[in-house]
Copies of this chain bind each other. A is one copy, B any other.
């Protein structure tokens, strides 16, 4: 189940569709972009292309506006959210069982051939590659 995020981040929707899905006007959607709240892709012909994740974000923005936030406030929310996740990325935690298994597996391969792995400690600090 790794392709789900990929699907959600595929930029395939034209602004007209996004208008219907969010009940926002084109003016609003473009304005939020000018305010650095969303970052749609562009097609070859310069059309904006949105992902499902973008649509969700626009719905979030609507909620924040209903709560009385202004553009700067919403931007701050997202900036902070991003800073947090950046931090998490720089820590050695957040390794799933699967990651650990893969790392161990790779190290065994590098250590020589396809021998049956025996118990062993990793030599380098565990860290996700970029």
A residues with CB within 8 A of B: 12-14, 16-17, 21, 43, 49
| Secondary structure dominating the interface of A | mixed
What residue of chain B has the Cβ atom nearest to residue A18's Cβ?
B12
Task: Find out whether the CB atom of A13 lies under 8 angstroms from the CB atom of B12.
Answer: yes
Q: Can you name 9 A-B residue pairings with CB atoms under 8 Å?
A: A12-B13, A12-B17, A12-B21, A13-B13, A13-B17, A14-B14, A14-B17, A16-B43, A17-B49
What residue of chain B has the Cβ atom nearest to residue A52's Cβ?
B7
What residue of chain B has the Cβ atom nearest to residue A50's Cβ?
B12
Provide the residues of chain B in CB contact with A12, threshold 8 Å: 13, 17, 21
What residue of chain B has the Cβ atom nearest to residue A45's Cβ?
B16
